[in-house]
C-alpha cells in the first residue's frame, strides 16, 4: 500500500479509534459502534476505508460482520512511516541551496 493511502486512512480520529480497538482483538461492528458516537452507516463507511487501505479484514459470523486488524499490513505501514521520519544527518553543513 502506498504511504499516502495509509496516512489518509489514519487521518480521521474515529478511524484511529477503530484501529485502537481492534489492536486488542477482533470485534463485530455493533461492538465497535458502542464505543463511537456515530451512526452505523458512518461506521460502515469508515470500516470500508480501512478495509480498502488493507488495514482490516472481515469475516461473517451469522448476522454479524467481524472485523480484525491485518497485522502484517499494519506493521508494514508502521515501517513505512518510520522510514519517512528518518532524517539522514548531512555530513557537511553547507546549505543545499546557496552557490
Q: Which residues bind DNA (CB under 7 A)?
A: 8, 11-12, 14, 28-30, 33, 37-49, 58, 60, 62-66
Alpha carbons 73 and 79: distance in angstroms, whole number: 10
Half-sphere exposure of 37 (CA within 13 A, CB side): 1
The closest alpha carbon to 24, from 90, 69, 79, belongs to 69
**37 belongs to the binding site for its own copies (CB under 8 A):** no
Q: Is 64 helix (H, G, I), strand (E, B) or coil?
A: strand
Instruction: Find the shortest distance in angstroms from Cβ 41 to its own copies.
Output: 21
**31 belongs to the binding site for its own copies (CB under 8 A):** yes
Q: Are 2 and 52 in contact (CB under 8 A)?
A: no
Q: Which residues bind its own copies (CB under 8 A)?
A: 3-4, 7-8, 10-11, 13, 16, 20, 23-28, 31, 69, 71, 74-75, 77-78, 81-82, 84-85, 87-88, 90, 95-97
Amino acid at each position: 500500500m502506498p504511504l499516502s493511502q495509509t496516512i489518509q486512512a489514519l487521518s480521521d480520529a474515529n478511524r484511529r479509534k477503530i484501529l485502537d480497538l481492534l489492536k486488542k482483538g477482533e470485534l463485530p461492528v455493533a461492538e465497535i459502534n458502542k464505543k463511537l458516537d456515530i451512526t452505523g452507516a458512518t461506521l460502515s463507511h469508515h470500516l470500508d476505508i480501512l478495509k480498502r487501505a488493507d488495514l482490516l479484514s472481515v469475516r461473517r459470523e451469522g448476522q454479524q460482520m467481524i472485523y480484525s486488524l491485518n497485522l502484517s499490513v499494519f506493521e508494514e505501514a508502521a515501517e513505512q512511516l518510520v522510514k519517512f521520519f528518518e532524517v539522514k544527518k548531512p555530513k557537511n553543513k553547507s546549505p543545499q541551496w546557496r552557490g
